[in-house]
Structure 1
């Protein structure tokens, strides 16, 4: 099978990480070209892997690069799609030269006409990591304070270039959508109404990348207490309202005497709080450092008010750390409540505080879940399972 996988970024966000993991898995038995537009990281996630990559809109020719920049500036000044027109011409030329069996988008800003044109010659699979393909915004959430917020709504002038209805109504457009969670499948079908194929394909992860480390040594490596009950969470800045870290701080206020430590990875600068139990550790990027972070915790908490199929849950479970997850989006699909983790209401600090207290008092049971956590990912979310499921989708479409 010859596959072109397209991702806006090469790494650095959940969608691009999922794309790179698919590429890594597919490359073992298939011919793959990984296309990306933006180079978001200096970490080489493909080190030691023989993989073809191509950065769309970047060449070794400085004059061509200058032309790309000029087209980009003109597009912004004139509110036109001229830069996407140029990039599509270049991308389409590449597609014609290599003649893949499948074009697999993970995130893209091509127009509905361009996607349809590609799909008429080469079947397109579009893995949705958010609601954009059907709703032209990333997420619509109800924040912790009860107000609604839309993340990354498409600019008004761009709506004439990407219209979901026109893509869905185009009978010649051979596009199959593959949301990673059943939650997003159900949400998409409300708009799709059977016009295009939608198939759930879970994100996968290389089970050799994440595995349990000795807990005391991991805690020593990141300089935290070796004995205390440890709750871990990842605090993001870009989507901090959706990631909902505030509910953790509100829950801690309800259990001021609980002798625990709470490790925050990333930035918590958005929140003003006074609690000596919270230890801020800053951002962590490398897989080896993440293994230590997950392994150091007794429980990983993900309090998002909305998330699709977050990679962090898989990473934590593979490291043998059970997950205290919000009952929102696709998170409940990843957690076997009571066995590999526990679910709570992301709008209720009281519910979260009670769950933390319960886990603190049932510490021995929490510690015994490591093997079950890891097995749950190996059985359902491994890289091999993901690749097998995508190949099945590819073959069905090609036939």
Structure 2
């Protein structure tokens, strides 16, 4: 009888974390003997391996009510509307332990579980099943008092509190209260946490909430049969893009999200057009994602809208000359991985897990954090001063050797076997590996 694993995720297609959970289940089903399935709060695809917690009319209304209730609850505490999505209190959730997917599983594997899906009380119910828990951390939320990325703040090392995201920070503010609730339910859990990048794993090892638990680093998997190079001329023809230009690609679910750094990209382009005016005839932009309200850019831009079809996304990467990611906070971005798999070099800031993907001068270029001047340099270097074909080959090869589905499926299979073995030895032996 194969080991049975149930993955839990708020959604099956909203954001990189949910996509990561679905891609992991796909990799496990293809390249491991494990039996895996996914339980979500909100199902938006037709994937038969995924079940919605309650897909009835009333169930969907309850889901919406929990989501809205948490957002309203947070409004009384948040410091700024601009940071509304940077913090989750996990006060509302649902008990999932009666669902067949949970009851039949030998291992429960959590992913991104916010927005009214699992609260700290819900987590407590999972702990009480005595099943070993694995939690893939797609951001910092599992080990903070509520924020998804703390930036330069290191309060998570102790007990949180004095939170910059809250209107009235203090030693016993909401972040401290959430930390206390998390500690109460997490300490006795048979919990193994997985970071998608070494950067996040290193931050997690400093956290007070995870000091009793095992921490490992395993990246998300990618289907390299979908994300693969397409000849640029063909890709551009299919997307109605110009054939004889350098195309710089920018992509984000919401282009105007402050942490995506579009303002730095825009300034870098303005600097590029001024320093190298000849590029105005040579460079055009390709942007996909929600782009309403963008100001005028110094180069012609082609807007592809919001793309959800993986094959079409892969075409956009293949059509581009370079992919740029000026994000100010990132774990291990799928966008870079996807671009590299399609043989497109990437340029980004030297922050978070980005330098784990981009090897400067080998498969792309890194820029000094928050420097539009250096971002401009990195873009120009990649397009005009590099061995471009080598960058392309190296980008694809790195994904094949480190992030392809068979590689990651094997790593998770080994982890699950270890987790089951350790769950038989109580109390849990805490380690940070």
The aligned runs of 1:93-132 (5 Å cut-off) are 93-94=98-99, 98-109=103-114, 110-120=118-128, 121-132=130-141
Q: Which residue of 2 aligns with 1:302?
A: 325
Deviation at 1:81, TM superposition (A): 8.7
Map 1:245-284; keep pairs closer than 5 Å: 245-256=262-273, 257=277, 258=279, 259-284=282-307
Conserved 8 A contact 2:321-2:383: no
The residue matched to 1:122 in structure 2 has which SS?
coil
- Structure 1 residue 54 and structure 2 residue 62: aligned? no
Per the alignment, residue 187 of structure 1 pairs with: 203
Could you tell me the TM-score, scaled by structure 2's length? 0.78
Q: Deviation per CA, 1:70-95: give whole Å up to 9, x if none.
A: 974996799699963xx30xx21125
Closer/same/farther in 2, CA of residues 302 and 221 from structure 1, 3 Å limit: same
Contact 2:127 2:185 in 1 (8 A): no
Of stretches 75-84 and 27-36 in structure 1, the one that deviates more from structure 2 is 75-84
Q: Hey, what's the Cα distance between the residues in 2 that align with 1:194 and 1:237?
A: 35
* From 8, 16, 19, the counterpart of 2:18: 16
1:385 partnered with 2:407: yes
The match for 2:97 is 92
- TM-score, normalization: structure 1? 0.84
Deviation at 1:209, TM superposition (A): 1.3
- 2:324 maps to 1:320: no
Aligned-partner Cα distance in 2 for 1:15–1:395: 24
Contact 1:112 1:161 in 2 (8 A): no
* Distance in 2 separating the partners of 1:241 and 1:96: 38
1:33 aligns to 2:49 (yes or no) = no
Match of 2:376 among 353, 372, 383: 353
1:82 and 1:355 mapped to 2: Cα distance?
44
Deviation at 1:236, TM superposition (A): 3.6
Q: Which runs of 5+ in 1 are unaligned?
A: 143-147
Aligned residue pairs, count: 374
* Cα separation, 2, equivalents of 1:66 and 1:212: 40
CA distance in 2: counterparts of 1:279 and 1:69, whole angstroms: 37
Q: Deviations over 1:209-242 (max 9, x none)?
A: 1111110121122222201112111144277111
Query: SS of the residue aligned with 1:26?
Result: helix
SS in 1 for 2:98: helix
**2:344 is paired with a residue of what secondary structure?**
coil
Bigger Cα displacement from structure 2, 313-322 vs 95-104: 95-104
Cα distance, 1:57 vs structure 2:
2.4
1:229-244 mapped onto 2 (5 Å cutoff): 229-237=246-254, 240-244=257-261
Deviation at 1:182, TM superposition (A): 1.1
CA contact (8 A) 2:363 2:394 kept: yes
Give distance in 2, aligned partners of 1:54 and 1:327.
38
Higher mean displacement: 184-193 or 310-319: 184-193
Q: d(CA) in 2 for partners of 1:393 and 1:289?
A: 33
SS in 2 for 1:294: helix
Which secondary structure state, in structure 2, belongs to the residue aligned with residue 309 of structure 1?
A: coil
SS at match of 2:8: strand
**8 Å contact from structure 1 (residues 181, 200) kept in 2:** yes
The answer to whether the aligner puts 1:367 opposite 2:389 as a matched pair is: yes
SS in 2 for 1:284: coil
Q: Which residue of 1 aligns with 2:398?
A: 376
* Equivalent position of 1:145 in the other structure: none
Larger displacement relative to structure 2 (270-279 or 223-232): 270-279
- For 1:109-258, list aligned pairs within 5 A: 109=114, 110-120=118-128, 121-135=130-144, 136-141=146-151, 150=165, 156=174, 159=177, 163-168=181-186, 170=187, 172-192=188-208, 194-237=211-254, 240-256=257-273, 257=277, 258=279
Q: Structure 1 CA distance, aligned partners of 2:301 and 2:60?
A: 47
User: For each residue in 1:249-277, what CA deviation from the matched residue of structure 2 results, as whole angstroms up to 9, or x when unmatched?
Assistant: 10111122123112111233354234243
The answer on whether the counterparts of 1:104 and 1:125 sit within 8 Å (CA) in structure 2 is yes
Distance 1:141 1:185 in 2: 15
